[in-house]
């Protein structure tokens, strides 16, 4: 789901689409159906996750899926319909780590224009150090700041979220949202 | 684009799709192509906008488009690919009001589960009171708090954003992000 497959056929009637600017005042090229006039919009997707913390340690998950198999990440994944941002972030944390935790505040909103995504991270407080990761995770474990495998982090947004988290912890100031643009 | 048309045909090969849970460990029903195995994901969309302010007045736009034709809204619309949240919010503000403004901080992140949307509002500072609304807006004008047409506001998220804005202004505390769930 990282690469978006090109829209070649109309989702409503199966006719081959044409790429053009619709006649409704739009300014962007869309996949438009010449048979039934359906316009196929493509918009950014939200990736929602948490920064789960126990004392001075942060939980990272070693990815058992592509992309970035074997690299470390914060628990996060695509937001689904019928859930809030916080519910999605909590669901992903449960799926990828099996941790017991309490959700905290929204911490960062990161626009990743190159892949058409917005990454939203909540803080989360771990209730213990027992994990039960699902099939997407090889291993879930806690890291002190000095132990973070910076060169083995799966995504730039995760690296940036961790960097900002440790920075806030040093200054003792939490509560301000971080809005970050990653090109 | 408010109602999502049902996916009936594969966007990759035009074959009629079947709704089922994919075999890759997924837990949700998706539109899956029986011919080429393309899985069609549907995820929440971001609506991005601003709360444009000049002194103690807020800019609202009277909608010239459906849904909610003739109702008042904050400038906002669907986030597009290749832009950040802030760039999208600024673009919508320009398109719908033609205002001169400076972008401020992220103010609210609202999950609207019923329609599968996340609404993100930035604060914005108007530089003057001259507007030049585009085709989506009948009229753009400034309202003091006491003048806000609360019963003629187009969307619940806009009403809530305005309510939170005036509340923050009374307490004088800005800077905390508002995370709101609207069912
Ligand atoms: Zn069609
Ligand atoms: Zn297909």
Chain B residues near residue A109 by CB distance under 8 angstroms: 85, 106, 109, 120
Contact assignment for A12 to B14 by CB distance below 8 Å: no
How far CA B121 is from CA of A48, A160, A178, B50, B153, in Å, comes to 18, 23, 14, 5, 16
Asked if B79 and A44 come within 8 Å (Cβ–Cβ), the reply is yes
Q: Hey, which CATH number is domain A7-42, 2.40.160.20, 3.40.920.10, 3.30.70.100, 2.20.70.10? A: 2.20.70.10
What mean pLDDT is predicted for residues B93-122?
97
Instruction: Give, in degrees to the nearest 5, the angle at Cα B176 between A145 and A83.
Output: 80
Q: Which chain B residue has the Cα nearest residue A136?
A: B25
Query: Closest Cα to residue B117, out of B81, B86, B77?
Result: B77
Average pLDDT of chain B is: 95
Of A1, A80, A116, the CB nearest to B81: A116
**Closest CB from B12, B111, B175 relative to A5:** B12
Q: Is residue A76 within 8 Å of A158, Cβ to Cβ?
A: yes
The CATH T-level fold of domain B1-42 is: Ubiquitin Ligase Nedd4; Chain: W; (2.20.70)
* Alpha carbon of residue B16 to chain centroid: 32
Going by pLDDT thresholds of 50, 70 and 90, the confidence category of residue B3 is low
- Give the pLDDT confidence of B20-52 residue by residue, as tens digits: 999 988 999 999 999 999 999 999 999 999 999
Q: Which of A67, A124, A69, A140 is nearest to A91 (CA)?
A: A124
pLDDT single digits (tens) B144-169: 999 999 999 999 999 999 999 999 99
What percent of chain B shows pLDDT beyond 90?
90
CA torsion A122-A117-B116-A7 (nearest 10°) is -160
CATH code of A45-182, in short, is 3.90.79.10
Contacts of A22 in chain B (CB under 8 A): none
According to the model, what pLDDT value does residue B2 have? 46
What pLDDT was estimated at residue A172? 84
Instruction: Write phi, then psi, for A113 (nearest 5 degrees).
Output: -65, -35
Nearest CA in chain A to B78: A43
DSSP string, B131-169: ----TTEEEEEEEEGGG--GGGBS-HHHHHHHHHHHHHH
Q: Cα of B62 to ligand 1 centre, how many Å?
A: 32
Domain boundaries, chain B: 1-42, 45-182
B99 SS3 class: coil
Q: Supply the ipTM of this predicted assembly.
A: 0.95
Return d(Cα A103, Cα B154) in angstroms, integer. 32
**Would you state the pLDDT for residue A1?**
38
Task: Characterize the bridge pairing of strands A30-32 and A76-78.
Answer: unpaired
pLDDT value of residue A3:
61
Tens-binned pLDDT, residue by residue, of chain A (183 aa) = 346 779 999 999 999 999 999 998 899 999 999 999 999 999 999 999 999 999 999 999 999 999 999 999 999 999 999 999 999 999 999 999 999 999 999 999 999 999 999 999 999 999 999 999 989 999 999 999 999 999 999 999 999 999 999 999 999 877 789 999 998
Q: Which residues of B157-169 are buried (b: 16+ CB within 10 A; e: fewer)?
A: bbbbbbebbeebe
């Amino acid at each position: 789901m990282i690469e978006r497959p090109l829209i070649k056929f109309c989702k409503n009637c199966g006719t081959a689409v044409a790429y053009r600017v619709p006649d409704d005042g739009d300014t962007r090229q869309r996949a438009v159906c010449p048979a039934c006039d359906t316009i196929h919009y493509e918009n950014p997707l939200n990736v929602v996750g948490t920064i789960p913390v126990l004392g001075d340690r942060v939980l990272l998950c070693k990815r058992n899926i592509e992309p970035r198999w074997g690299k470390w990440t914060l628990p996060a994944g695509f937001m689904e319909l019928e859930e809030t941002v916080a519910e999605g972030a909590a669901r992903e944390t449960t799926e990828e780590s099996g941790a017991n935790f309490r959700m905290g505040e929204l911490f960062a909103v990161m626009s990743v224009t190159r892949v058409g995504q917005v990454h939203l991270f909540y803080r989360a407080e771990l209730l213990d150090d027992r994990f039960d990761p699902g099939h997407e995770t090889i291993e879930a474990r806690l890291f002190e700041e000095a132990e973070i495998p910076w060169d083995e982090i799966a995504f730039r947004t995760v690296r940036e979220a961790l960097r900002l988290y440790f920075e806030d912890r040093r200054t003792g100031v939490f509560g301000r949202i971080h809005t970050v643009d990653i090109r």
